[in-house]
Amino acid sequence: MIVMKFGGSSVSNAEKIRQVIEIVRGRLPRKPLVIVSALRGVTDDLFKLGEQAVRGSSPPVEPVRKRHLEAIRELGLDPVLVEPLLGELEALLKGISLVKELSPRSLDYIVSFGERLSSRVIAAAFVKAGVAAEQHDAFDIGLLTTEEHGAAQPLPEADGEIKRIVSKMAKVPIVTGYIGKTKGGSITTLGRNGSDYSATIFGAAIDADEIEIWSDVDGIMTADPRLAPTAKPIDALTFAEASELAYYGGKVLHPATITPAMRKGITVRCLITFKPDNNC
């Protein structure tokens, strides 16, 4: 079994979602578990909605609704997929606007809608394309975390619970990245750009053969290509080198990503969605 994580840029619109489906279709013999981020830019929109709500206005969720309905329309899916969640988000924002208080717990709840919405759209697109797939919120399949909202860590017992539940799945799991839940039932997030961390948490829990991190950048590079046009992809790094690079600000991997993979000795491979054969 392998884990495949697709970032927001890889699922930013209908065309890219179709591309993701074909990439995963090619991996079906390896029994993939797919982790997905929110559609590109949606998490930022959700943070802004929280900021607006705490100032006393009940902000419309139209920017978020429009992004998802546009993808749904182009994919030929039913809008009912997202309307219940959008209604829940509207009610939450209205409540925050009334009490004028935005706690870390409430903020995690707000931003969790990005992955919860995208995963439902993406899973439905897989099914429509003829791939037997099923959507899962990470916390419903075992990802229990600490109560550090905004920077939660998986609890030790999460490994066994994830492995137990995933082992019974017959369809391709399409799982929310970035989010988990406390034992008390509060939704948590693993920190910004935490979907790659989700991928290695799940990969370690199920003893995956490999973890693939898919994005729109050409793997891990010798320097930031925006600052150094001559930067080149690095063919391979040790766990320690990759972890140190992430810790000091490398944008390809979440700083905590390497730890679960290192614990189990699982290879983490970085790939680019529009060059599926490139890897590092």
Q: Which residues touch 105 (CB under 8 Å, ≥6 apart)?
A: 149, 186
Q: What is the DSSP string of the chain?
A: -EEEEE-GGGGSSHHHHHHHHHHHHTTGGG-EEEEE-PSTTHHHHHHHHHHHHHTT-----HHHHHHHHHHHHHHT--GGGTHHHHHHHHHHHHHHHHHT---HHHHHHHHHHHHHHHHHHHHHHHHHTT--EEEE-GGGGT-BB-S-TTS--B-TTHHHHHHHHHTT--SEEEEESSEEE-TTS-EEE-STTTHHHHHHHHHHHTT-SEEEEEESS-SSBSS-TTT-TT--B-S---HHHHHHHHHTT-SSS-TTTHHHHHHHT-EEEEEETTEEEEE-
- Token code pair at residue 192: 């910004």
Q: What is the pLDDT of residue 259?
A: 86
HSE at residue 259, side-chain half, CA atoms within 13 A, is: 10
Q: What are phi and psi of 188, to 5 degrees?
A: -125, 165
- Cα separation, 178 vs 38, whole angstroms: 9
The CA dihedral of 230, 193, 256, 236, to the nearest 10 degrees, is -30
Q: Which two tokens stand for residue 214?
A: 């898919």
Q: What is the pLDDT of residue 248?
A: 47
pTM value > 0.85: yes
pLDDT at 255: 59
Check residue 242 and give its pLDDT: 55
CB 128 within 8 A of CB 89: no
Q: One digit per residue, pLDDT tens: the chain, 280 residues?
A: 999 999 999 999 999 999 999 999 999 999 999 999 999 999 999 999 999 999 988 889 999 999 999 999 999 999 999 999 999 999 999 999 999 999 999 999 999 999 999 999 999 999 999 999 999 999 999 999 999 999 999 999 999 999 999 999 999 999 999 999 999 999 999 987 789 999 999 999 999 999 999 987 555 555 555 555 665 555 555 556 655 665 545 555 555 788 899 899 999 988 988 766 654 4
Question: What is the structure's pLDDT at 224?
Answer: 54
C-alpha to C-alpha distance for 174 and 85, rounded to whole angstroms = 17
